[in-house]
Amino acid sequence: MKTKLILVILLLGIMGLLFGSEDPAEMDEMQRRIKELKALSERFKAEKGFDGVIDTNTEVMKLSHFSGNFKDIDMNAVRDSLAFRQVCNRIINKLLPYIGAKENQLDAGNISISSTSIRTQYQQRANGYPIWGEGRLVISYERDYNRISILNVTVDIANQPVQPLISDIEAKQLAIDMHKNRTGRSFDNNETTISGPCYSNGGRDRYYIAYLVTVEDITYFVDALESKVVVYFDFTRY
């Protein structure tokens, strides 16, 4: 009997550690975010005539996925790529106030048609620059289920002209210098690759114009306005 009592006490103690360790402030903030996004979802449905399920992302506070139909759009009438593009334009007009991308930031991609679906992807470009790892909107129609599916991976970047203050050659040299200082090794500079400029939030909680320089499998994010390496990652580990 004593053994059972001790086990119960230990179990209650463990449960207290597990559930009592939650930060009340963090829980309150999460509930606030969930409530705010739910209200935003309901407002979108009411204003845009959407009937379906909307998934949300509390980390970035956005409507991330839509699955359903719009009351004023008849998808059964969509038979070819031209008709689908016209429908997509109408859908985007409904989405714009509720997603990160602004007007004229979405570049239309190719349309793919199969026996079960029709699909296209829009790439977001802000002020002429792509967004590294993000910045896309995928719209598809699933014929078998007669529903529209929308994946929103756009981000909020203002339309504000910006120009890099350093060239790709200068960004490359900054990354090479840091890599040499970090490793103390010599290497073949010809094997160093660079991409950009593009928007990135690597190492920061905001988006900035960056060059991505890869030196011996290490990718350095170079701020093109502040002329410095912000962060570096070894993507081979992931």
Nearest to 138 by CA among 150, 124, 126, 127: 150
**How many domains is the chain built from?**
2
57 and 111 in a single domain? The answer is yes
- Per the domain annotation, does 13 fall within a domain? no
Domain-embedded: residue 17? no
Whether 139 and 29 share a structural domain: yes
Mean local confidence (pLDDT), 170-192? 87
Average of pLDDT values for 138-154?
Answer: 96
Please answer whether residues 211 and 196 qualify as being in contact, where contact means their C-beta atoms are separated by less than 8 angstroms: yes
DSSP character at residue 156: -
Q: Are residues 203 and 93 both part of a single domain?
A: no
Residue 224 lies in a domain: yes
Task: Kindly give, in sequence order, each residue whose CB lies less than 8 Å from that of residue 44, ignoring residues fewer than 6 positions away.
Answer: 50, 54, 63, 98
Domain co-membership, 129 together with 199: no
- Report CA Rg, the chain: 24
For residue 142, what are the β-bridge partners? 117, 147
Query: Are 59 and 102 contained in the same domain?
Result: yes
d(CA 238, CA 233): 10
If you average pLDDT over residues 49-78, what whole number do you get?
95
Residues 35, 146, single domain; the answer is yes
User: Mean pLDDT throughout 149-169?
Assistant: 95
Residue range of the domain that includes 117:
25-153
Task: Give the model confidence (pLDDT) of 2-56 as tens digits.
Answer: 454 444 444 545 555 444 556 788 888 999 999 999 999 999 999 999 999 999 9
| pTM of the full structure | 0.84
- Per residue in 100-122, pLDDT tens? 999 899 999 999 999 999 999 99
In sequence order, what are the beta bridge partners of 106?
124
Check whether residue 61 and residue 113 sit in a common domain: yes
Whether 36 and 140 share a structural domain: yes
- Confirm whether 6 is domain-assigned: no
Q: Under 8 Å CB-to-CB from 90, ≥6 apart: which residues?
A: 70, 73
